[in-house]
Amino acid sequence: MNCAAQPFRWCQQEELKMNPKTSKSRHGRKMPLVHPNAAAIDVGATMHMAAVRADRAPEPVRSFGTFTADLHRLIDWFTQCGVETVVMESTSVYWIPVFELLDARGFTVCLVNARDAKHVPGRKTDVSDAQWVQRLHSFGLLRASFRPKGQIVALRSYVRQRERLLEYAASHIQHMQKALTEMNLQLHHVVADITGATGLRIIRAILAGERDPEALAALRHYSCHSSAETIAKERSRAATAPSICLRSSRRSPSTPPTARRHPPATCGSKPC
């Protein structure tokens, strides 16, 4: 009898009879729920889509705004649905406020990489992102990213901010060196560090209008390895007022920090 001409259910039964081992592996086995009380959030810039199990609410997928009051309503809805763990993708920095609020309310929050959820096979086109991620998390198919707790998060933020400030400072120093070179003021050739004591004194004096090479050389720190005569010789070309006005805008609004990734070269015990 041709199996293709029979109903689909009858074909399945015939296949189970002919190969019982296959029946147990393909048809009789179901994946256990690892997180039965799981929910998911599809994080967005102006709207979050939240999803719970279909038997937990008449409307298992709902949208919420991103304001603080909206986030509290979202968390209250999760509480009413009996949610214990929430999964979300690490989309830009939009996940941070809702992540912190959920963690403060006692939920187990799972932050996953979007690529992990994207590479799991079996995605249905008629299922929203929040529903799909919730289903994957229910079966334990998503791997959580590392997120430190408590004061470690604050410490990591300070360290990262310090790294960014050091990079910004280095960029500003390069702009200052370029502006000085365009004016043929080879300050970085006679002092080891233009943001040291001697370099900053001379730069501030030039910006204030000082053009006398002897007066600029007199600002030399006593520990600088270059003599006052060398500095005065290097200052012999006076920059014009328009060039100073145009290029002084490249100077950082505040004094560049002297602390760097690598300490500046020193003459003796003090930077020059």
Residues contacting 128, CB < 8 A, separation 6+: 42, 49, 51, 61
The pLDDT score that the predictor gives to residue 17 is 54
Between the CA of residue 171 and those of 44, 88, 199, what are the distances in Å?
A: 33, 36, 17
The pLDDT score that the predictor gives to residue 266 is 40
Provide φ and ψ at 88, rounded to 5°. -150, 155
> How far is Cα 236 from Cα 234, in angstroms, rounded to an integer?
6
Calculate Rg over the CA atoms of the chain. 33
C-alpha 96, offset from chain centre: 11
Report yes or no: 234 and 189 within 8 Å, Cβ to Cβ.
yes
The pLDDT score that the predictor gives to residue 122 is 62
Tokens of 85: 């763990």
The pLDDT score that the predictor gives to residue 81 is 92
Residue 163 DSSP SS3: helix
74-130: per-residue pLDDT in tens?
999 999 999 999 999 887 888 999 999 999 899 999 998 877 766 666 665 545 788
Provide φ and ψ at 47, rounded to 5°. -155, 140
Q: Does the pTM of the predicted model rise above 0.95?
A: no
**Where does residue 137 rank: exposed (0-12), middle (13-18), buried (19+ CB within 10 A)?**
buried
Report yes or no: 51 and 40 within 8 Å, Cβ to Cβ.
yes
**Where does residue 210 rank: exposed (0-12), middle (13-18), buried (19+ CB within 10 A)?**
middle
The pLDDT score that the predictor gives to residue 10 is 47
The pLDDT score that the predictor gives to residue 194 is 81
Report yes or no: 149 and 174 within 8 Å, Cβ to Cβ.
no
Start-to-end CA span in the chain (Å): 97
Q: Which stretches in the chain have pLDDT values below 70?
A: 1-29, 117-127, 226, 231, 233-272
The pLDDT score that the predictor gives to residue 202 is 82
The pLDDT score that the predictor gives to residue 257 is 43
The H or E element containing residue 132 is: helix 129-138
